[in-house]
Amino acid sequence: MKILLLLLAAAGLCWGQYNPNTVPKRTSIVHLFEWRWQDIAEECERYLAPNGFGGVQVSPPNENLVITSPNRPWWERYQPISYKICSRSGNEEQFKDMVKRCNNVGVRIYVDAVVNHMCGAAGGSGTHSTCGSYFNAGNRDFPAVPYSGWDFNDGKCHTGSGEIESYNDIYQVRDCRLSSLLDLALEKDYVRSTIAEYMNRLIDMGVAGFRIDAAKHMWPGDIRAFLDKLHDLNTQWFSEGTKPFIYQEVIDLGGEPIKGSEYFGNGRVTEFKYGAKLGTVIRKWNGEKMAYLKNWGEGWGFVPSDRALVFVDNHDNQRGHGAGGASILTFWDARLYKMAVGFMLAHPYGVTRVMSSFRWPRYFENGKDVNDWVGPPSNPDGSTKSVTINPDTTCGNDWVCEHRWRQIRNMVIFRNVVDGEPFSNWWDNGSNQVAFGRGNKGFIIFNNDDWNMNVYVQTGLPAGTYCDVISGQKENNKCTGKQVFVSGDGMANFQINTDAEDPFIAIHVDAKL
């Protein structure tokens, strides 16, 4: 019996798709939302690899519905027509070139896999898709896959509308249509095999893993069934027998019967409570204080760290979609946002994903942003604009590029330096001034109070002069920002005024003079 249990445990470990397959000491993913493949390839080479980013989440690469009213919204990418690789980001050759160039510099590619559904039931018929493939949504006819009426859940859904009407009914959530999107019958082996074939083509090209979109709307066993059909990763870049990294979009804020934990057998899950709670704390809403973050992670009711993918915001909730509500911090709240991302990247919990966005013209009516649909920066013909780089290394053409902000980039590097070190030397003032270390490799301190800070605290770091990597960094053995002196006993003095550009300071051993 004991041997059988050991074998089962070993089999579980072989399956475990929890490892992002990044190069050692590269720990964070960046979501280059709606970027073109050509721009991602260049960014891997010129910026992501030199600054220690582990990988890129890319937008869905497969053929999708072209929607002209409203004009080319971002969410058209989530309305598949086929699994051909052609989208606003580029064609199959450009996709392959990006994967190869990014892998060659040690930056992994994770594909946003939209496999729960096809386009909306009202998608009409014709060839208005990114590759020009014919389809008929009304007849459930997608010959470019091919899928037919047999391959959808219409007969399985027991609501009058065919839509999800109650999130308290797990059968509706998984067998009915989400926002009218045609729900695939994933219990059918043909559908599972077709999805696996699409994902295997991407694996063979060199992708390192997948975000499974709308995973909550699929039965965990159905996901497992198509994951079981996946190839190992391409041995040109990965060691033999390496499994693709899997992280599943499961919005579980605690109020519904479907739980993120049901999906642990397949891979990691997106921990949506993370950004919602962190935003509430940093905004100081509902009486929350940063001092309460001492037991951040599982202590806050989150999934186990080794099953979590975490983020401050994502492409949905930065627009008020998805989960988290008004507490979600985004680039629009830059000062607080940098503090939240800094906290996330310094803290050991989960695999971290940084957001890289584009601007849109926000316009609020009754508290809702009526422009939350606006697609990426586009040329008059609807094609996506290239990401241009300004002389100061920020991005042009309305691309925000938060991953290029000095504070965020330097905290990505901080996370790499402290990788594997324990959470240590917590300090707080009982309010919104907090600090913690990562073993003897790094230390971070925040002042989110409305009064100035001047404190001596234990850093756990070796004696010496360190460059603060938030106000600047170490260059040519000098600090371009603030300096921090750590004495022989590990103590250091930190002063952060309320009017500081950034109300936090971070130091690590690679930024020591």
Q: What residues are labeled active site?
A: 213, 249
How many CB atoms within 10 Å of residue 237?
18
Contacts of 256 (CB under 8 A, 6+ apart): 167, 168, 173
The beta strands (E) that lie in 366-511 are given as 368-369, 423-428, 433-438, 442-447, 453-458, 464-467, 474-475, 478-479, 483-486, 491-496, 504-508
If we measure between CA atoms, which residue out of 133, 12, 40, 61 comes closest to residue 386? 40
Q: In terms of DSSP H, where are the helices of 206-361?
A: 220-227, 272-282, 334-346
Q: φ and ψ at 151, to 5 degrees? A: -100, 10
- What whole-number distance in Å separates Cα of residue 378 and Cα of residue 183? 30
Helices (H) and strands (E) in the chain, counts: 9, 27
Q: Which residues contact 178 (CB under 8 A, 6 or more apart)?
A: 116, 117, 163, 164, 214, 217
According to DSSP, the β-strands at 108-113 and 209-212 are parallel
Strands in 322-365 per DSSP E: 351-356, 364-365
**How far apart, in whole angstroms, are the C-alpha atoms of residue 175 and residue 292?**
40
114 vs 373: CA distance, rounded Å: 18
Please, are residues 102 and 116 in contact by the beta-carbon 8 Å criterion?
no
- In the DSSP assignment, the letter for residue 46 is I
Distance of alpha carbon 150 from alpha carbon 140, whole angstroms:
8
Which DSSP symbol is given to 180? T
Closest-CA residue to 140 (of 156, 159, 170, 117): 117
Instruction: Specify the residue for token string 């806050």.
Output: 300
Contact assessment for residue 236 and residue 193, using Cβ atoms and an 8 Å cutoff: no
Query: Do 247 and 309 form a contact (C-beta atoms < 8 A)?
Result: yes
> Which structure tokens are listed for 486?
């750590």
